[in-house]
Amino acid sequence: MWKIVLGAVSASSLLGLVILFSPSALVPALSSEVSLTQAPAAPATPTTLVHLFEWTWADIATECETYLGPNGYRAVQISPPHEHIVLADYGYPWWQRYQVVSYQLESRSGSRADLQAMIDRCRDAGVAIYADAVINHMTGFESGVGSAGTRFSKYDYPDLYAPEDFHNCRQPVTNYDDAENVTQCELVGLADLNTSSNAVQTTIVDYMSELVDMGVAGFRIDAAKHIRNEELGQILDQLRDRHPDTDLYIYQEVIDPGTEAIRKQDFYDSGNVLDFKYGRFIGEAFLGLEGQTLANLQTLGEGWGLAPSSQAVVFTDNHDKQRGHGGGGDYLTYKNGDLYALANVFMLAFPYGKPQVMSSFAFDDSEQGPPAEADGTTRSVYQNGQANCSGEWVCEHRWPAISGMVGFRNATQSVAEVTNWWSNQANQIAFGRGNLGFVAINREAQPLTHTFQTQLPQGRYCNVVQGGLSADGAACANDAKVVLVNRAGQFTATLPEMTALALHVEAKLSR
Ligand code: ARE
Could you tell me if the CB of 231 is within 6 A of ligand 1?
no
Q: What is the mean pLDDT of residues 2-25?
A: 34
Residue nearest to atom 27 of ligand 1 (CA): 326
pLDDT at 156: 98
Q: Check if 58 has its Cβ closer than 6 Å to any atom of ligand 1.
A: no
- Residue 35, pLDDT above cutoff 70: no
Verify that 179 and 118 share a domain, yes or no. Answer: yes
Residue 486 in domain: yes
Q: Is pLDDT above 60 for 30?
A: no
pLDDT at residue 379, as a whole number? 97
Question: Which SS3 state, helix, strand or coil, does residue 132 take?
Answer: strand
Is the per-residue pLDDT at 40 higher than 60?
no
Compute the average pLDDT of residues 498-508.
Answer: 97
Nearest alpha carbon, ligand 1 atom 41: 320
Catalytic one among 54, 231, 253, 396? Answer: 253
192 Cα–ligand 1 center, Å = 13
Say if CB 87 and CB 142 are below 8 A apart.
no
Predicted pLDDT at 28? 55
Give the model's confidence band at 12: pLDDT under 50 very low, under 70 low, under 90 confident, else very high: very low
Give percent above pLDDT 90 in the chain: 86
* Ligand 1 neighbour 176 (Cβ under 6 A): yes
pLDDT digits (tens, 9 = 90+) for 335-367: 999 999 999 999 999 999 999 999 999 999 999
3-class DSSP state for residue 280? helix
Instruction: Reply yes or no on whether 33 is catalytic.
Output: no
The whole-number average pLDDT for the span 482-505 is 98
Q: Is 53 in the pocket of ligand 1 (CB under 6 A)?
A: no
pLDDT tens digits, one per residue of 198-229:
999 999 999 999 999 999 999 999 999 999 99
From the CB of 253, is ligand 1 less than 6 Å away?
yes
Kindly give the distance from the C-alpha atom of residue 327 to the centroid of ligand 1, in angstroms, as a whole number. Answer: 9
- Looking at ligand 1, which residue's alpha carbon is closest to its atom 8? 188
Q: Is residue 78 part of a domain?
A: yes
- The CB of 223 under 6 Å from ligand 1? The reply is yes
Same domain (yes/no): 378, 482: no
Q: pLDDT at residue 463 above 50?
A: yes
Q: Is the per-residue pLDDT at 369 higher than 90?
A: yes
Which of 466, 459, 473, 475 minimizes the C-alpha distance to 496?
466
Compute, in angstroms, the gap from residue 306 CA to the centroid of ligand 1.
Answer: 22
The reported pLDDT for the residue numbered 354 is: 97
Burial profile 22-37: b = 16 or more Cβ within 10 angstroms, e = fewer? eeebbbbeeebeebeb
**Are residue 18 and residue 49 in the same domain, yes or no?**
no
Residue nearest to ligand 1 atom 14, measured at CA: 95
Residue 91: give the domain boundaries.
34-274+361-394
On whether both 390 and 479 belong to a single domain, the answer is: no
For the cut 50, the answer to whether the pLDDT of residue 135 exceeds it is yes
Over range 244-249, report the average pLDDT: 95
Query: Terminal CA-to-CA distance of the chain, rounded, Å?
Result: 36
Helices (H), 315-373: 338-349
Choosing from 79, 137, 255 the residue with most ligand 1 atoms within 8 A of its CB, the one to mutate for a pocket test is 255
pLDDT of 147 over the 80 cut: yes
Report yes or no on 225 lying in a domain: yes
Question: Residue 45: pLDDT band by 50, 70, 90 thresholds?
Answer: low
What pLDDT does 39 receive?
Answer: 39
pLDDT at 6 over 50: no
Number of domains making up the chain = 2
Q: What is the pLDDT of residue 3?
A: 27
**Cα 370 → chain centroid:** 18
Residue 387, domain CATH:
3.20.20.80
Residue 324 located in a structural domain: no
Q: What is the mean pLDDT of the chain?
A: 92
CA–centroid distance, 452 to ligand 1, in Å, is 45
75 lies in some domain:
yes
- Nearest residue (by CA) to ligand 1, atom 40, is 320
pLDDT of 29 above 50: no
CB of residue 86 inside a 6 A radius of ligand 1:
no
Separation of CA 223 and ligand 1 centre (Å): 8
Q: What pLDDT score was predicted for residue 113?
A: 98
67 plus 18 within the same structural domain: no
Choice among 393-397, 440-444, 473-477 with the minimum mean pLDDT: 473-477
CB of 190 closer than 6 A to ligand 1? yes
Nearest residue (by CA) to ligand 1, atom 35, is: 320
Side chain identity at residue 454, one-letter code:
T
Distance 345 CA to ligand 1 centre (A): 29
210 lines ligand 1 (CB under 6 A): no
Residues 6+ away with beta carbon under 8 Å from 423: 294, 295, 298, 429, 430
In a domain, residue 169? The reply is yes
Nearest Cα residue to 17 out of 409, 471, 463, 504: 463
Q: Which atom of ligand 1 is nearest to the CA of 225?
A: 29
Give the integer Cα–Cα distance in Å for 220 and 204: 14
Q: Based on the domain organization, do 7 and 79 belong to the same domain?
A: no
168 and 234 share one domain:
yes
pTM for this structure?
Answer: 0.93
- Rounded Cα distance between 197 and 178, Å, is 22
Same domain, 111 and 218: yes
pLDDT of residue 27: 60
Per-residue b or e along 305-321, where b marks 16 or more CB atoms closer than 10 Å to that residue's CB: ebbeeebbbbbbbbbbb
| Residue 132 in domain | yes
pLDDT at 34: 36
222 labelled catalytic = yes
> Residue 505: which pLDDT band, with cuts at 50, 70 and 90?
very high
What CATH number is associated with residue 492?
2.60.40.1180
**How large is the average pLDDT for residues 71-86?**
97
Cβ of 188 less than 6 Å from ligand 1: yes
Higher pLDDT, residue 329 or 139: 139
**Given phi > 0 = left and psi -120 to 50 = alpha, else beta, which region is 302?**
alpha
User: Pick the catalytic residue: 59, 186, 222, 231?
Assistant: 222
pLDDT at 26: 61
Confirm whether 293 is domain-assigned. no
Same domain, 92 and 169: yes
Say whether both 390 and 455 belong to one domain.
no
pLDDT per residue as tens digits for the range 294-330:
999 999 999 999 999 999 999 999 999 999 998 888 9
207 and 65 fall within a common domain: yes
Specify the amino acid at residue 478.
Answer: N
How far apart are alpha carbons 201 and 362 in whole angstroms? 37
Domain co-membership, 38 together with 11: no
